[in-house]
Every structure is written in structure tokens, then in C-alpha cells.
């Protein structure tokens, strides 16, 4: 079911106010020193063409993009843009990429034919494949050979230092997450992950992880408070071996670091947060205010690292660029940072104060305080 059309701008929401809102959005993303990118999903029938999307990234100084497949229109539009790209290999392609010649052909067609006019930063070999997820478990045996073959194809082109090849996981592979220092993968996924982690450590490549505090909170609101999930808790809520955790994002990421260490990744394997966001509608805890609060706080927070790895900026990709009306279930349609008509949904704010009221767009004053 398609979602309703975005509310049109009222006459009071003038071009001047749009320009001001855009300037604020641009400043917010730029303050992270380009550590923050945005995922460009295309599952909507009302989205602008790729050329306009790339222009929108440039207009708002969004310097990194996650692209889920080698869409030719998007790749051509990215030529000369300067945007750094995490390019996804669709799960449906992994089986054939277990053949080294197929991997070489894929890299030639979708990477080398565009390089260096398109600035590829990463290749993500599949997304959220799990050996214990019935929907993706049959693909799990293909992940490591496809990963190695694509890495070898990139290395054969002499680009292994410029383009890193990895996989993107979700947090359902974590079996123990509390406290963060006890983080460990599920016992039934370790044989799948261990050789992958070993390869990433050898290749000096980060693991990609999709980290959503929203799903942890909505699945367990009795034990996880909304402020803890939204970065708005006024004090430390969890102490772990002298490390204080004031937000769930840090706790989840540090539990993943601990799990990687237990699996042989050492304390040097980095994690890139390849997705993180909060839906504005469609489910429990999905309000416009909560989504705006989460994104603004996330952008500000990732500059500073976690208690386990302080002072180290966390490269993070917001999910997603647009609301995508062809996704299911309903809440999946409402993760966008922009409306399909190219205006920002939120006043993303680093300073803590509200710089702009988008009430003309939403019939409600935007607040950066969560419901307690």
C-alpha cells in the first residue's frame, strides 16, 4: 500500500525559509567532517531522478552515500560529484560471484568503468545475510567466497587501499549484548563469521553494521527507556567496568566491538555504521519528534567515539535519504531525512537549541525533547 502524498508547503512556508532550513541542514552534516553519509534507497514511485538526487546531496554538502546496487543512472550522475560511495552488491548476485571470473566482470562493469570519476570508498558484499535467518540462510555459504573474489578483483586493479570490500550485518547476530564488555555473537553464527572476520582483519577493512536503537527500544520498552535510545538521557544509565553508558547506540556498538574481539578481530578491527535511523510513523514510538531527535543527536554524537573507543569518530550512514512508499511494513516507509519533493524533514541540530520551527510543514512545533 502506497503511503499518502507528502503534505504540500503552505503559503507561509516561503522560499526564504526553505533556504534557511537547507543552510541549517548543510551546516549540521558538515560539522562531522564528512563522517556522516546518507543511504540512497530507491523503493519509491515518487522519487526524484538520480541526477536531482545527486544534486541534492551536493546542495546539502552530504559527502558520502550508501548505494544498495550499481544503479547505472545513479552511477552516471555521481561522475565528478566528489561524493564518496559505499556500493552494494545485491544479495541476489552473491551466488554467481563465488566464481572468480564473474567477480572480476562485476568489478570491471560496475566499479572500474566508473573509477576514478566516481569515488568508490567501499563495496558492501550483500546486506544482512544470516545463517540462522530463514529468508537469507541459503545465501550464507556464498558470502565469504564472494567477499574474497571481489577483494581479489579490486586488488588486481591495484585499488585495495582506496576501495575496501566488506559485508554488512545486522545486530541480530549478537547473542550477548549486555553488558557491552560481554558482547558476543550467537553460537550458531560464529562458524559463519569467524573466517569473514579473519579476512577483514587481514585486509585491514572495517566491518559494516546496521545499528538501530529504535528496534531494540520498540522490542523491549519496559527495559530500555526512550531517552536512552534517543541520546537524551541526562545521566549515565549503565556502568560497565568503569565505562559509563548514557545512550543505547554506544552500548550496542561497544557490544559489537567486544564480540569481534572474542572472534579474533583484535581491538583494531573498525566498524562502519552502515545504517542507522528512526522512523517518523508507522509503529510503536514512531513520531516525527522522536525521529528528528534521534537523527540530530546521532549526527552530533558520532564525532566523539564510544566509551570503549573514545575520541575516534564513527563513520555513520543515516538511513535513509527519502521516505520510500513501496517498502513494507508500513514503518519502513518513514525513515527518510528528506521528502520525495526534496525538502528536508527535520531541523538537524548540533547546538542543542532549536534553530527553526517547521510547524508550517507539520502542524506541530518540532521539539528536540523526547517523551519521558
Active site residues: 128, 275
d(CA 128, CA 301): 25
Closest C-alpha among 274, 258, 371, 270 to residue 316: 274
d(CA 212, CA 209): 10
Q: How many CA atoms does the CB half-sphere of 179 hold within 13 Å?
A: 12
Rounded to a whole number of angstroms, the CA Rg of the chain reads 20
Residues in the chain: 372
d(CA 33, CA 225): 30
Taking CB atoms within 8 Å and a gap of at least 24, the contacts of 51-58 are 51/77, 52/342, 53/77, 53/321, 54/78, 54/81, 54/83, 56/321, 56/338, 56/342, 57/81, 57/83, 58/82, 58/83
Q: What is the pairing mode between strands 238-240 and 271-276?
A: unpaired
Instruction: Compute CA distances 371 → 129, 135, 228, whole Å.
Output: 35, 36, 11
Cα 258–chain centre separation: 20
DSSP calls for 41-68: ----SSPPPHHHHHHHHHHTT--EEEES
Closest C-alpha among 245, 223, 239, 264 to residue 305: 245
Amino acid at each position: 500500500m502506497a503511503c499518502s502524498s507528502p503534505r504540500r508547503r503552505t503559503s507561509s512556508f516561503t522560499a526564504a525559509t526553505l533556504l534557511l532550513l537547507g543552510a541549517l541542514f548543510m551546516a549540521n552534516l558538515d560539522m562531522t567532517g564528512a563522517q556522516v553519509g546518507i543511504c540512497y534507497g530507491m523503493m519509491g514511485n515518487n522519487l526524484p531522478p538520480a541526477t536531482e538526487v545527486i544534486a541534492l546531496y551536493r546542495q546539502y554538502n552530504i559527502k558520502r552515500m550508501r548505494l544498495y546496487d550499481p544503479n547505472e543512472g545513479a552511477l552516471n550522475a555521481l561522475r565528478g560529484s566528489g561524493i564518496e560511495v559505499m556500493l552494494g552488491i545485491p544479495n541476489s548476485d552473491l551466488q554467481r560471484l563465488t566464481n572468480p571470473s564473474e567477480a572480476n566482470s562485476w568489478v570491471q562493469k560496475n566499479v572500474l568503468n566508473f573509477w576514478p570519476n566516481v569515488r568508490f570508498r567501499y563495496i558492501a558484499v550483500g546486506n544482512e545475510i544470516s545463517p540462522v535467518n530463514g529468508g537469507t540462510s541459503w545465501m550464507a555459504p556464498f558470502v565469504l567466497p564472494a567477499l574474497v573474489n571481489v577483494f581479489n578483483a579490486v586488488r588486481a586493479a591495484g585499488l585495495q587501499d582506496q576501495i575496501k570490500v566488506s559485508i554488512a550485518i545486522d545486530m541480530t547476530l549478537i547473542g550477548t549484548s549486555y553488558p557491552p564488555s560481554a558482547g558476543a555473537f550467537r553460537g550458531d553464527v560464529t562458524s559463519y563469521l569467524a573466517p569473514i572476520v579473519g579476512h577483514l582483519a587481514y585486509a585491514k577493512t572495517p566491518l559494516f553494521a546496521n545499528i538501530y536503537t529504535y528496534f531494540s527500544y520498540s522490542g523491549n520498552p519496559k527495559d530500555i527507556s526512550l531517552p536512552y535510545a534517543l541520546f537524551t538521557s541526562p545521566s549515565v544509565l549503565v556502568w560497565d567496568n568503569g565505562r559509563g553508558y548514557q545512550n543505547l547506540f554506544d552500548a550496542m556498538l561497544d557490544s559489537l566491538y567486544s564480540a569481534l574481539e572474542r572472534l579474533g578481530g583484535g581491538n583494531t578491527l573498525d566498524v562502519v555504521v552502515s545504517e542507522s535511523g528512526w522512523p517518523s510513523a508507522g509503529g510503536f514510538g514512531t513520531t516525527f519528534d522522536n525521529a528528528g531527535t534521534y537523527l540530530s543527536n546521532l549526527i552530533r554524537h558520532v564525532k566523539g567515539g564510544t566509551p570503549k573507543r573514545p575520541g575516534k569518530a564513527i563513520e555513520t550512514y543515516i538511513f535513509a535519504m527519502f521516505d520510500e512508499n513501496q517498502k513494507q511494513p508500513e514503518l519502513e516507509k518513514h525513515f527518510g531525512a528528506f521528502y520525495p519533493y526534496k525538502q528536508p524533514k527535520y531541523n538537524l541540530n548540533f547546538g542543542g537549541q532549536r534553530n527553526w520551527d517547521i510547524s508550517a510543514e507539520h502542524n506541530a512545533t518540532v521539539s528536540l525533547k523526547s517523551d519521558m
